Amino acid sequence: MTDDTPKKKPSGPLAAPGRIKEISSAANLIVKDIRALAQKRHRDETGLFLVEGLKLVLDGLDAGWELGTLVVSKAALQGGSEVLTRAVSRAVGIGADVVEASAKVLEAIARRDNPQSAIGVFRRQSVPLAKIALGPGEVAVALDRVRDPGNLGTIMRTADAVGAKAVVLVGDCVDPFSLETVRATMGSIFAVPVVRAKEAEFLAWRQGFSGQIVGTHMTGAVDYRTPDYSAATLLFMGNEQAGLSAEMAASCDVLVRIPQAGRADSLNLAVATGVMLFEARRKVLTL
């Protein structure tokens, strides 16, 4: 994976690594910088994003992502939490800043009551579309203008669970590094490569892609269990409201539909993606 190159040199959280600081006021400048990462503009400028919870932070470290700052609950540290103490030593050891924070500071950063006892500031990573190559039986998911952070996070978690090779975000999609998306990935943000591509870029890449593109569409004439998923497969899922655009649908080799009974017009995007991913990987996944 490559760094998501920030538009300007990072300041604040990554500027002076390796220090331990105690901060009790939410008005502190370091805290303000970290809080600002709730905004996409600030994430784009710095190339950083927030990860809540010790397990997710450790997932990120284990996956080799760069931790800039670890914010931990001072009360939990003083309460003798061994896992937290070990995490602090690990963070300092790799040169990250550590902030021992009051409950007020953690609440301000997480923007909720009862926040987790650890919050990590990580550097984003993504993969260029050109790097995506699928072998036989391998699968990746492309999403056309996905808008809902919960859907995207759930899809990334499911893609991770089935061993999908990548999640490709086509067009104007929700930010995969927003707090809500990262929360919903439950750590899979560190496991599944994320690709971002404009529509034209995707269509150009498609020309050289030798596998099949299986699009999902409410008017699809083919049952979703029909394609031969032993070929390299890119599943293409549509926007929550509008579905796949006509142009993106035309780029698919086949348009499939998941049969439904009852009154619902369609399935939720993340649910439909889950059904498709498990079907595409059915013969590969075993207990």
Residues that bind ligand SAM (CB under 6 A): 216, 218, 220, 237-238, 240, 243-244, 257-258, 260, 266-267, 269, 272
Q: Which is nearer to ligand SAM, 1 or 254 (CB)?
A: 254
Token pair for 146:
């996905």
- In angstroms, the CA 182 to CA 156 distance is 9
- Nearest CA among 144, 200, 142, 201 for reference residue 166: 142
Shortest distance, position 10 Cβ to ligand SAM, whole Å: 36
Q: Which is nearer to ligand SAM, 122 or 236 (CB)?
A: 236
Q: Which is nearer to ligand SAM, 116 or 216 (CB)?
A: 216
Shortest distance, position 238 Cβ to ligand SAM, whole Å: 2
Q: Which is nearer to ligand SAM, 71 or 277 (CB)?
A: 277
Q: Which is nearer to ligand SAM, 60 or 274 (CB)?
A: 274
Distances (CA, A) of 123 to 41, 202, 207, 283: 15, 25, 32, 36
Shortest distance, position 181 Cβ to ligand SAM, whole Å: 17
Q: Which is nearer to ligand SAM, 210 or 219 (CB)?
A: 219
Shortest distance, position 15 Cβ to ligand SAM, whole Å: 42
164 burial level (CB within 10 Å; 0-12, 13-18, 19+): buried
Shortest distance, position 143 Cβ to ligand SAM, whole Å: 9
Shortest distance, position 244 Cβ to ligand SAM, whole Å: 5
